[in-house]
Amino acid sequence: MSASANRESAITNPGQFGRVAVVMGGQSAEREVSLNSGRNVLDALRAKGVDAHAVDGIPALLDALRAGHYARVFNILHGGAGENGELQGALQALRVPYTGSGVLGSALAMDKVRAKQVWLSLGLPTPRFKALAHGADAGSSAEAVHAAAREIGFPLIVKPAWEGSSVGVTRVFEEKDLDAAVALARRYPGDLLMETLIEGGEYTVGILDGRALPTIRIVPKGEYYDYNAKYIAEDTEYVCPGLDGAAEEEMRALALAAFDALGCSGWGRVDVMRDRAGRNYLLEVNTAPGMTSHSLVPKAARALGIDFETLCWKVLETSFERERGVP
C-alpha cells in the first residue's frame, strides 16, 4: 500500500508551483509548533528551487492573496482557524489551491467528537467516550461531568475536543483528580471530551496522497507521550515500521479508512492506540501535521527513502488535486 507513495513526482519544474505562501504561526495554542514547522517547510521548498515565502497568520495571508501575490498556499497552521475549515473555505472562495484537506474534512477532523461519531456510524473502532458542552448549561455541570466519568469508568482521558499537540490533555486514574483535569481542558474552546484510557501501544500512521505510510510505534521515556515528549524531549523512541506482517497492514488500512471517512485529502496523520489484546482504536486525524525535527510524518517518509525536502515537495504537489476538483 505505501510503496507507491514513493513514486516519481508529477511536477518536475519548481516554476510550475508559482509563488507559494507558506502560512504558519497564527493565534492558536499551537502557534510555536506551527512556526517551527513552517520554517522547516520553507527551507525545504527553497532548497528544491520553489519560490516560497513565509506568511504569519490568516489575515496577512488573505490580504496578500487578494493582492495577487501568491499562486498557491502550503498550509502549516496547527489548530484554530487554520485547521478547522475556516481558512480552507476562504481559500476556496478565492480560488487559491492549497495543501491539506478541504472544508468538511478539516472541520470534522478538528472536532474529535464529530470524528468519533462518523467512525462509529461506519463501524470503525474508537475508545468509548462522552462529550459535554462547553458552557454553563446542565449538561456541563460538575454533577453531569462526574456522572459521565463514572459511566465511562476510570482510568480515562480528559481533553478539549478541538485542540491538538496534547494541549489540555490529562489522564485521570481516580475521580478525585477529575475536577482539575476538566478545569484544564475547559481553558480551550469546544466540547469537553472524556474517553476510555486504552492501555497499550501508541501508534501513528502518516497519509500522503491517498496512501498510508509505514506505522510508527511511539515509546516515550516517561509514561506518556505528552507535549514535552512530542516537541522537547530527545529520548523518545520511534519504531518504524511499528508492527509486522498482517498487523502492520491492518493498522495502515484502518488509518486510511478513518482518514477517508472524514472526507480528508492530500496528507495527514492518524493516531491509533493498540491494546494489549491487539485491538486497534482510532484517536484522531491531524490534517496539518507537525513538520518539526520531532515530527512523525517525516520519520515515516524516511522509512520509504523520502527525505524531508522531497516530502515537502510531494505535499505541495497535492495542491494540484484541488485545482482538479478534489474536495
Domain presence at residue 249:
yes
Same structural domain, 113 and 207: yes
Position 106 scores a pLDDT of 97
Same structural domain, 7 and 93: yes
Give yes or no for a contact between 245 and 276, defined as CB atoms under 8 angstroms apart: no
pLDDT along the chain (327 residues), means of 10: 55 96 92 95 98 98 98 95 96 97 96 95 97 64 90 92 75 92 86 92 96 95 56 75 97 99 98 97 96 91 96 97 63
Same structural domain, 11 and 68: yes
Position 220 scores a pLDDT of 81
CATH number for position 35: 3.40.50.20
- In the listed set 100, 117, 150, which residue is the last one of a domain according to the structure? 100
Q: Does residue 267 come out as left (phi exceeding 0), alpha (psi in the -120 to 50 range) or beta?
A: beta
Same structural domain, 156 and 298: no
Domain presence at residue 29:
yes
Domain presence at residue 309:
no
Give yes or no for a contact between 169 and 155, defined as CB atoms under 8 angstroms apart: no
Position 141 scores a pLDDT of 82
Position 1 scores a pLDDT of 43
CATH number for position 262: 3.30.470.20
Domain presence at residue 324:
no
Same structural domain, 10 and 96: yes
E strands of the chain, at which residues?
Answer: 20-24, 52-56, 72-75, 129-132, 156-160, 170-172, 192-196, 200-208, 211-219, 237-239, 267-275, 280-286
Same structural domain, 8 and 92: yes
Domain presence at residue 42:
yes
- Measured between alpha carbons, how far is residue 312 from residues 100, 217, 307 in Å? 12, 23, 9
Same structural domain, 240 and 265: yes
Position 140 scores a pLDDT of 60
Calpha distance 100→158 (Å, rounded): 28
193-219 burial: b if 16+ Cβ within 10 Å, else e: bbbbbbeebbbbbbbbbbbbbbbbbbe
Same structural domain, 134 and 161: yes
At 9, the amino acid letter reads S
Question: Count of domains in the chain?
Answer: 3
Position 323 scores a pLDDT of 66
Residue 310 in grid coordinates? 522531497
CATH number for position 143: 3.30.1490.20
pTM of the complete model: 0.88
Can you say how many angstroms the Cα of residue 131 is from the centroid of all Cα atoms in its chain?
A: 20
Peptide bond into 59 cis (omega under 30): no
Domain presence at residue 293:
yes
Other CB atoms within a 10 A radius of the CB of residue 133 amount to: 13
Position 167 scores a pLDDT of 75
Calpha distance 99→24 (Å, rounded): 13
- In the listed set 154, 176, 196, which residue is the last one of a domain according to the structure? 196
Calpha distance 30→166 (Å, rounded): 10
Domain presence at residue 327:
no
Same structural domain, 230 and 297: yes
Same structural domain, 119 and 229: yes
Strands 20-24, 52-56: parallel, antiparallel or unpaired by DSSP?
A: parallel
- In the listed set 196, 214, 244, which residue is the last one of a domain according to the structure? 196
DSSP state of 8: P
Domain presence at residue 315:
no
Comparing C-alpha atoms, which of 72, 108, 109 is closest to residue 91?
A: 72
Please identify every residue annotated as catalytic.
30, 165, 231, 269, 271, 284, 286, 290
Same structural domain, 119 and 221: yes
Give yes or no for a contact between 45 and 313, defined as CB atoms under 8 angstroms apart: yes
Domain that holds residue 86: 3-100
Same structural domain, 17 and 138: no
